[in-house]
Amino acid sequence: MALTGFSPSSPPHASPPHADAPADWVDRVLLAGPGGEECLRFGTPVDRDALRALVAEQAGRLTASGLGPGGTVALRLPPSLGFVAALLAAWRLRAQVALLDHRLTDHEVELAVARLAPQVLVGSASRPAAALRGYSLVDPVPVRLPAGRPAATGHALVQLSSGSTGPAKVIARTASDLIRELDCYRRLAAFPGEGERVVLLSSVVHVLGLVGGLLNSLHARAPLTVPDRMTAAGILAAVAGDHRPTTVVGVPFHAELLAGASGPPELPQLRRMVVAGELVRPGLAAAFTARYGVPLGTMYGMTETGVIATDLDGTLHPAKQPVHGMEFRLVAGELQLRTAASPYPGLDDPTRWADGWLHTRDAAVLDAGTGLVTVLGRRDSQVSIGGLKVDLTEVERTLAALPRVREAVVVFDDGAIEAYLSAEDDADRALVQDGLARQLAAYKRPRRLAFLPQLPRTATGKLLRDPAALRAAAAAD
């Protein structure tokens, strides 16, 4: 895994990690509440007293490994109660936490550790559960790393981008910025609050699952459930397992999975599903609502900032309402966000952040009258074919909207457009090609059209867009 945008030897930040938030922010913002109140469910319910005890236990283990205020720790744990306890314990100790996806190979972890230089690496004493399991039962084990270094910046959280369209970026956020995002969620009347519950499908090491799922559930006192199995049946069973109003949080892939489920049970407690991470294909929201009678809400956000804009009831599509305090501008068609500081520690790149503005690299439209934002796709999806401009997002959406096509990825490599798609078993290749010919000019049509049983995805559930990896997947089919 190639990492960009971080150097542990950067000049020290003026303040240590967590200095921008109250000393007891973890207890006040995330752990507060009646002791017997359920807050998490990984198979069995966990109340707040039990969670506080587990956090205290993990804090003792981390302290014994040498972690303290201003220290650095990397967590390589699968979704689990152990992950939650270790994360909150490290923050309670005012350490800087880097999250490593448990699905990374040992080689990728070695590269990440070499670049991030954490003082402690927390792994699992047992192997993670099988791939389709929603969570694992793990005992976190902290290991002191002799080459580790203390925090060089004041950030509380360090994450790696998915790397779906290029090398993974190192992105950092402060404690106060996490609290700010939680306040944004609190202001969303349609997002789960006290008396409701969340069924979380997104990864807890990435921003939607971490902040929109885990941290918001703890903060809003809306108990969080992770399904036993990440199958349609397993997800629906998790929804049906409690009578309280329920919101499912995931990525578009999960909505596709549920929309295609046969004979789902009656789910009067299901309030809505909310997805983020990539654009939703045409027709998915209607298919989901037709199957379950509730809206498929969408959110737009970035690892760098968290949630940016939402359409939780599906009434604004394709536009979204900016969350509280978000300031936008358009520069040459690119959406830019006002941020106080760069989220890329050690990286001085004016094409990513400059003069208080974060470059999203997303094309968008802003409605001056309503303030709504419509994200059109990646600006780097525009390519030139024989001097003619082609938007790969347009080609991809056209392909995905054709009958019998489930999903599609369109990329540009070596001067040519390539398309990779998965379709229903009875899909006719000739009809797909005919559909493209009727809807797209000749210069926009893919030179290569490959059918795959399933399209490869990143660890966050996003469709993989690396041409070499897609070609390898097609060759292996």
For 20, the token pair is 């921008």
CB-count burial class (<10 Å; 0-12, 13-18, 19+) for 448: middle
pLDDT, position 377? 82
Percent of the chain that is helix, strand, coil (3-state, to 5): 30, 30, 45
pLDDT, position 42? 97
Q: What is the pLDDT along the chain (477 residues), one digit of tens a residue?
A: 444 445 544 444 458 999 999 999 999 999 999 999 999 999 999 999 999 999 999 999 999 999 999 999 999 999 999 999 999 999 999 999 999 988 877 888 898 899 899 999 999 987 766 678 999 999 999 999 999 999 999 999 999 875 444 456 789 999 999 999 999 999 999 999 999 999 999 999 989 999 999 999 999 999 999 999 999 999 999 999 999 999 999 999 899 999 999 889 999 999 999 999 888 888 899 999 999 999 999 999 999 999 999 999 999 999 999 999 999 999 999 999 999 899 998 777 888 999 999 999 999 999 999 999 999 888 877 787 866 778 888 899 889 989 989 899 999 988 889 999 999 888 888 999 999 988 888 889 999 999 999 999 886 778 888 899 999 999 987
> Which residues, listed in sequence order, are joined to residue 390 by a DSSP beta bridge?
383
Any idea how long the chain is?
A: 477
**CA proximity to 201, closest of 104, 275, 103, 283:** 275
Which amino acid appears at position 340 of this protein? A
Are 64 and 71 in contact by the 8 Å Cβ rule? The answer is no
> Which residues, listed in sequence order, are joined to residue 274 by a DSSP beta bridge?
249, 297
Q: Do 178-326 and 386-476 fold alike per CATH?
A: no
Are 247 and 292 in contact by the 8 Å Cβ rule? The answer is no
Which amino acid appears at position 4 of this protein? T
Q: Domain residues of the chain, as ranges?
A: 3-13+44-173, 178-326, 386-476
Give the Cα separation of 63 and 175 in Å (integer): 20
For 21, the token pair is 């938030």
Give the Cα separation of 435 and 401 in Å (integer): 10
Report the first-to-last Cα separation within the chain, whole angstroms: 25
pLDDT, position 7? 52
- Please count the other Cβ atoms lying within 10 Å of the Cβ belonging to residue 368: 6
pTM of structure: 0.84
> Which residues, listed in sequence order, are joined to residue 300 by a DSSP beta bridge?
309
Give the Cα separation of 206 and 473 in Å (integer): 25
CATH number of 386-476: 3.30.300.30
pLDDT, position 5? 47
Give the Cα separation of 214 and 170 in Å (integer): 21
- CATH fold for domain 3-13+44-173: Rossmann fold (3.40.50)
Class of domain 178-326 (CATH, top level): alpha beta
Give the Cα separation of 320 and 261 in Å (integer): 28
pLDDT, position 279? 83
Residue ranges with strand state E in 19-173: 38-42, 44-47, 72-75, 96-99, 120-124, 140-144, 157-160, 168-173
Are 197 and 339 in contact by the 8 Å Cβ rule? The answer is no
